[in-house]
Amino acid sequence: MNDFIEKTKYIHNVYKNNKKLFDKKSEIGQHIQVFNNGFFGNILVIDNDLQLTEHDESNYHEMIVHVPLNYMENKINVLIIGGGDGGTLREVCKHKNVTQIIMVEIDKEVIDVCKNYFKKCSNSFNDKRLTLIIEDAALWIEKNINKYNNYFDIILLDSTDFNKS
C-alpha cells in the first residue's frame, strides 16, 4: 500500500491542445503563463501551479466570497490577501454593504496579465472602494497590525496552494 501512495502522491492535470499565449518571469521571480484551451478557455499558471481557468473560475470565487459575505448585513470592510486575478474582488464588489476593500497582492504582473487575458475576472480593479497594495501580505500585516486592529469584518485569503515537497 505504501508503494501505491508514493507513486500516486502527485496529481498531474494534462490539458491537451493548448496554445501558449503568455510566458514571462515577473520582477519578483514568479513564472507566469497563460494558455488557451478549446474547452477551458484561458488558463493561468504560476510557477507550474494551475491558478484558474476561464471555464470554472466562478465556482471558486463565488464560494470564497458569497458564503461569508451573505451573512454580513451591516456595512463592512474587507481585506483580500492575494487574489491578483481579480475574481475574488469582482465578487466582493457585488455586495452593496461593502464600504472599503483593501487588497494586498504580491505581484503586480499577475494583475496586469489578468487584466489582459482574464477580462471577466479582472473587471473590478477600478471600483472606488478598492485600495490596492502591491506588497508581500505577511509584511504588510506585520507593519499595519495595530492600525487595522479590529477594522476588517471579513478577511479573504486567495493565495496559491503550492504543492511543494
Report the SS3 class of residue 127. Answer: coil
Q: How far, CA to CA in Å, does 35 sit from each of 43, 55, 71, 86, 112?
A: 5, 13, 37, 18, 16
User: Look-up: residue for cell 507593519?
Assistant: 143
Residue 155 pairs with which residues in a beta bridge? 79
Catalytic one among 85, 107, 153, 158? 158
Count other C-beta atoms under 10 Å from residue 139's C-beta.
Answer: 11
Q: Check if 153 is active-site.
A: no
Side chain identity at 50, as an amino acid letter? L
Count other C-beta atoms under 10 Å from residue 93's C-beta.
Answer: 21
Residues marked active site are found at: 158
